[in-house]
Amino acid sequence: MRDAVDRILEQWHRERPDAVDDLWPMELVGRMQRLTRVLERELKAFYAERDLELWEADVLLTLRRAGAPYALTPGGLLKASMITSGAMTNRIDRLEAKGLVERRPGADDRRSVRVQLTPRALELIDAFFADHLANEARLFAALTTDERAQLAGVLRIALHSLGDTDIT
């Protein structure tokens, strides 16, 4: 089974035979970049059918998995998403305008703010969660259970080695 990365590597083999033994990172990075683009395209299409943007679903799912009362501080959301604070503020504003989240004063400190799912958003997330899982399973249906576990383990090691550790 050949792919576009194989073609790229063949071209480099032809053009730079002196570097053949050093091309292995291209094989990994190239496939991960292409996989990221394919996954993003598939996820965007899935969420668009539900009138959501990929980033909206990410924020809403993050709040849902936080557990009742389905709320986090903007800083907590920021840690979970790895975007800039300005982008997070913009996302919260847009979700609030759609009636999917609301800002509430913190329980312990009235100066702090918590972003909380609205009942409508909770209903939305819970209604499509099974479809969400089925869609993600579809994306990796070509892999066996063992291959999925191996891939997850290898990706965890790679992410950890690059400093992407526990988000808490």
Question: What pLDDT, in 10s, does the model give residues 84-106?
Answer: 778 888 999 999 999 999 999 87
Residue 18, domain member (yes or no): yes
- The average confidence (pLDDT) of the chain is 92
Residue 57, domain member (yes or no): no
Residue 120, domain member (yes or no): no
Domain count, the chain: 1
For residue 100, CA distances in Å to 31, 91, 137 come to 36, 11, 26
Identify whether the C-beta of residue 9 lies closer than 8 Å to the C-beta of residue 23.
Answer: yes
* Per-residue confidence band for 131, with pLDDT thresholds at 50, 70 and 90: very high
Domain hosting residue 36, numbered range: 1-49
* Per-residue confidence band for 163, with pLDDT thresholds at 50, 70 and 90: confident
What pLDDT does 78 receive? Answer: 85
DSSP of the chain: ---HHHHHHHHHHHH-GGGGGG-HHHHHHHHHHHHHHHHHHHHHHHHHTTT--HHHHHHHHHHHHT-TTTEE-HHHHHHHHT--HHHHHHHHHHHHHTTSEEEEE-SS-TTSEEEEE-HHHHHHHHHHHHHHHHHHHHHTTTS-HHHHHHHHHHHHHHHHHTT-----
What pLDDT does 3 receive? Answer: 94
Quote the pTM value. 0.83
**How far is the C-alpha of 33 from the C-alpha of 139, rounded, in Å?**
16
Residue 149, domain member (yes or no): no
